[in-house]
Each structure stands twice: as structure tokens, then as C-alpha cells.
């Protein structure tokens, strides 16, 4: 096989199209042209061609992963799924995942901790957060460990949400039923909502004395 041409790409002057035996073979950055010592008219082996193509795929996969992580943090499952959608191939994906994991850019425990904090700010309870963590591929062990101290925090958030939504009004049976349904839909357990309503009632009773 003969490297027949190297053309600068019109849309990206930093990229070059490499042709072998008259056909487009792959695209490379200018630095890669120098690194692989590619010259027009020289013979290129099948092994070298496959090596360069594999390297190109790995770089594309890495660029995609970095762009995704620059938007927001992602779990290992989320990132892997997005790369698989682009059909980079298992070798390139495993390469990217190993590099990013080794350098701390993929860390499911850290992701879970940050995700929990964000969901708490949005007013979601432990049950809902645990479900969302599982959807994102976080293991049950990590999910349980990062959520283990959230029960008391859930009650406090329930009380804050009740105060924000209902102000200082008293709770009759119908209002309490609606509050249970609303907070349950946000992932708070029955016992947590019950404790929050009781604490809020006691606080209101105390404030009237």
C-alpha cells in the first residue's frame, strides 16, 4: 500500500486527510502526521494503518468523553452508554474509561455524593434519590452507603417544604392527606412525612402558647 496524498481539510485546517492507494484512509492532526512520519509516496504496512486507525478512534472517543464530562459529572454507566451510542468499539471505550477512572474523572462514589446534594437542594427525599441513583447505574452498595445518614435530613427537609408550601396554616385531615401525597411523590417515606407533620404541629402549638 502506498500513501498517495495528504490534504489539509477545508473545514478544519489543523486536520489532514490521508489517502492510501488513492482512497481516503483516515484523518489526522498535523502533529500526528509528524509523529507517525507519514510521507507521500512511501509504502505503509497494514499493521501501521490499523494502528493509526485504532489511535484515531481512541482519540475521538476521548474527545467525546471529555466534552460530555465538561457539561456535567456522569456515572460510569452514563458515560459508557453515551460512548457506546457512537459505536467507537469496545477497545477504544475501555481505553477511555480506564484513563478517566485512573485520573479521577470517573468516580461513582463522588458522583453519588454530589448527585445526592443536588437532589436534596431540589427537595427530593431519600427514596426518590435512591431510585435515581440506580437508574444512573450506581451500585446498591454505594447508594446505600452514601444515603445511610439521610433519614434525619429527610425529616428536616420535609418540615422546610411544609413550611414553604403551607406557611403557618393548621392541618386538617384533608390538608394532611394532600401533604402526604405530595411529599410521598417527592420520595419521602411515610414515617418521615408523619414525623415531619408531627414536629411541625408541635412547633406551631408551642408558638401559640
What b/e sequence results for 62-88 when a residue is b if at least 16 CB atoms lie within 10 Å of its CB, and e otherwise?
A: bebbeeeeeeebbbbebbbeebeeeeb
Q: What percent of the chain has pLDDT over 90?
A: 53
**CA dihedral sign of residues 172, 178, 181, 185:** negative
Whether the per-residue pLDDT at 149 is higher than 80: the answer is: no
Whether the per-residue pLDDT at 85 is higher than 60: the answer is: yes
Whether the per-residue pLDDT at 22 is higher than 70: the answer is: yes
Whether the per-residue pLDDT at 205 is higher than 80: the answer is: no
Q: Which three cell numbers stand for residue 127?
A: 427514596
The whole-chain average pLDDT of the chain stands at 88
The whole-number pLDDT of residue 133 equals: 96
pLDDT in tens, 31-42: 889 988 999 999
**Element housing 100 (H / E):** helix 90-102
Q: What is the DSSP letter of 209?
A: -
Amino acid at each position: 500500500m502506498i500513501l498517495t496524498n495528504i490534504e489539509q481539510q477545508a473545514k478544519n485546517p489543523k486536520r489532514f486527510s490521508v489517502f492510501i492507494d488513492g482512497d481516503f484512509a483516515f484523518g489526522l492532526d498535523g502533529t500526528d502526521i509528524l509523529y507517525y512520519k507519514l510521507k507521500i509516496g512511501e509504502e505503509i504496512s497494514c499493521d501501521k494503518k490499523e494502528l493509526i486507525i485504532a489511535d484515531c478512534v481512541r482519540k475521538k472517543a476521548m474527545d467525546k468523553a471529555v466534552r460530555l464530562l465538561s457539561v456535567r459529572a456522569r456515572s460510569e454507566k452514563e458515560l459508557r452508554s453515551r460512548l457506546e451510542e457512537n459505536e467507537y468499539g469496545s477497545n477504544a471505550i475501555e481505553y477511555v474509561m480506564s484513563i478517566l477512572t485512573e485520573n479521577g474523572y470517573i468516580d461513582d462514589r463522588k458522583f453519588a455524593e454530589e448527585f445526592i446534594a443536588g437532589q436534596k437542594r431540589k427537595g427530593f427525599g431519600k427514596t426518590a434519590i435512591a431510585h435515581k441513583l440506580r437508574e444512573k447505574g450506581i451500585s446498591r452498595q454505594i447508594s446505600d452507603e452514601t444515603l445511610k445518614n439521610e433519614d434525619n435530613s429527610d425529616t428536616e427537609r420535609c418540615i422546610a417544604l411544609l413550611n414553604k408550601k403551607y406557611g403557618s396554616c393548621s392541618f386538617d385531615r384533608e390538608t394532611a392527606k394532600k401533604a402526604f401525597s405530595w411529599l410521598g411523590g417527592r420520595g419521602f417515606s411515610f414515617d418521615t412525612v408523619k414525623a415531619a407533620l408531627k414536629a411541625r404541629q408541635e412547633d406551631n402549638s408551642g408558638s401559640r402558647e
